[in-house]
Amino acid sequence: MKRTHLAAALLLPAAVLPLTGCFNGPDATTTTQAAMNSGNGVQAKQGDIRIENATVVLTDEPGTATLVVRLINVGLEPDRLTYATINGQQADFLVADDSMDVASGVEVTPGQSVGFGYDSDLYISVLEGFDAEVSTYVPLELGFATAGLASMSVLTVPATGYYEGITARP
């Protein structure tokens, strides 16, 4: 074997890791960013319920906020969203018409996807005294009859741009 081939064969394994570019070990941002708050649209899973794109919209009406979220039941049994707090304040379940009774919560049947706040007649809103700054994270709790309590940190956004026209009340 020629000397140049031997040198290349010895240097190649040593050069692989430094030349990979993205590899920075177990604490690399590419490894840990999925567990961090990354902006609007927080995702979570509680039991058989997937919680997708959770964002708190600070509506144009002072002291009010509404949650934009989609709940998906990936289980085989129905579940019911029975409880919600946004920034420690009890949130109300509201519906735009009398098509359903939401006093005891909102049922999510197996395979069903239920949206709140955006392109929906359902709302999860704090209707008075809501106090949080735009672009801050606030605690959100969603309680399900079967799946249990989901706790997460959710970004607040103003009712502009994509969120324009979103209100706290139907």
Residue 162 has a CB neighbour count (10 Å cut-off) of 13
Q: Kindly state whether residues 21 and 66 are assigned to the same domain.
A: no
Q: What is the pLDDT of residues 144-162, one digit of tens each?
A: 999 999 999 999 999 999 8
The mean pLDDT of the chain is 86
Asked whether residue 159 is assigned to any structural domain, the reply reads yes
Asked whether residue 59 is assigned to any structural domain, the reply reads yes
pTM of the model: 0.77
Q: Kindly state whether residues 76 and 158 are assigned to the same domain.
A: yes
Q: Kindly state whether residues 29 and 81 are assigned to the same domain.
A: no
Q: Kindly state whether residues 74 and 133 are assigned to the same domain.
A: yes
Q: Kindly state whether residues 72 and 130 are assigned to the same domain.
A: yes
Q: Kindly state whether residues 158 and 98 are assigned to the same domain.
A: yes
CATH code of residue 59: 2.60.40.1890
13 Ramachandran zone, left/alpha/beta (phi>0; psi -120 to 50): alpha
Asked whether residue 169 is assigned to any structural domain, the reply reads no
Q: What is the pLDDT of residues 59-84, one digit of tens each?
A: 999 999 999 999 999 999 999 999 99
Tokens 């002291």 -> residue? 63
Determine the structural domain holding residue 18 and report its residue range: 1-36
Query: Does the structure show a pLDDT above 60 at 23?
Result: no
**CB contact set of 156 (below 8 Å; sequence gap of 6+):** 55, 56, 57, 58, 65, 132, 133, 134, 135, 136, 137, 138
Q: Kindly state whether residues 71 and 144 are assigned to the same domain.
A: yes
Q: Kindly state whether residues 136 and 60 are assigned to the same domain.
A: yes
Q: Kindly state whether residues 118 and 152 are assigned to the same domain.
A: yes
Q: Kindly state whether residues 55 and 11 are assigned to the same domain.
A: no
What integer pLDDT is reported at residue 103 of this predicted model? 85
- Total of domains in the chain: 2
Asked whether residue 91 is assigned to any structural domain, the reply reads yes
Q: Kindly state whether residues 55 and 133 are assigned to the same domain.
A: yes
Q: Kindly state whether residues 89 and 43 are assigned to the same domain.
A: yes
CA separation, residue 73 to residues 15, 123, 144, 146 (Å): 48, 18, 11, 11
